[in-house]
Structure 1
Amino acid sequence: MELIDEITVAALELARAGRGETALRLLDASGPDDPRIALTAAEVAVEHDMRTGSREAPARVAAAEKICGRTWDVEFAALRLDYFDQVFSRSTSGDDLRPWASRLIGSAPDPVRAGWAHMWLGLILDNLAGDRPAAPAHYRVALSAGDDLLTWEALRHLGDHDRDDGDLDRARERWERAAALGAATGRVGGTLAQQMLLAVLHRDTGDEAGAVALAREISRWAHAIGAVRQHRQAEAFLAGERIA
Structure 2
Amino acid sequence: MTNTASTITTVVPLDQLLAAVRELRISGRWRRATDLLDAARAADARDRARLAVAAVEVALESDWFGGTSLAGERLDAAERAFKEARLDGGWDLDFLRLRHGYLRLVRVDGRFRPGPDGKDPAALTALHAAAGGLRDRAPDAVRRGWAEMYLGLVADNLLAERDRAPAHYEAALRAGESGDDLLSREALRHLGDHDHDSGDHTRALERWRRATELGARAGAVPGTLSQQMLLAVLARDAGDEAGAAALAREVARWAGAIGAATTEAQAHGFLSGADPTAPPSPSAAGR
Alpha-carbon deviations, 1:147-202, whole Å to 9, x = none? 21110100000000000111000000000010011100000000001000000111
Q: What are the within-5 Å matches in structure 2 for residues 94-109 of structure 1?
A: 94-109=124-139
How many angstroms does 1:12 deviate by? 1.0
Partner amino acid for 1:22?
R
Take 2:231 and 2:41, find their aligned partners in 1: how far apart are those partners? Answer: 41
Aligned match for 2:34, one of 24, 29, 33: 24
- 2:208 is equivalent to residue 179 of structure 1: no
Aligned match for 1:50, one of 64, 71, 81: 64
More helix by share: 1
| Gapped regions of structure 2 (runs ≥ 5) | 1-11, 83-87, 278-287
- 2:105 is equivalent to residue 86 of structure 1: yes
Q: Which has the higher mean CA deviation after the structures are superposed, 146-155 or 170-179?
A: 146-155
- TM-score scaled to structure 2, two decimals? 0.82
Alpha-carbon deviations, 1:45-91, whole Å to 9, x = none? 11111111111110111111222233110010111011011111244
Identity %: 51
Residue 35 of structure 1 corresponds to 49
Take 2:193 and 2:218, find their aligned partners in 1: how far apart are those partners? Answer: 21
- 2:199 is equivalent to residue 166 of structure 1: yes
Aligned match for 2:182, one of 149, 154, 159: 149
Secondary structure at the aligned position of 2:69 is classed as coil
Secondary structure at the aligned position of 1:96 is classed as helix
Specify the structure having the higher radius of gyration (Cα). Answer: 2
Aligned match for 1:77, one of 87, 96, 117: 96
Residue 3 of structure 2 corresponds to none
Contact 1:196–1:218 (8 Å) recurs in 2? yes
Partner amino acid for 1:106?
D
- TM-score scaled to structure 1, two decimals? 0.97
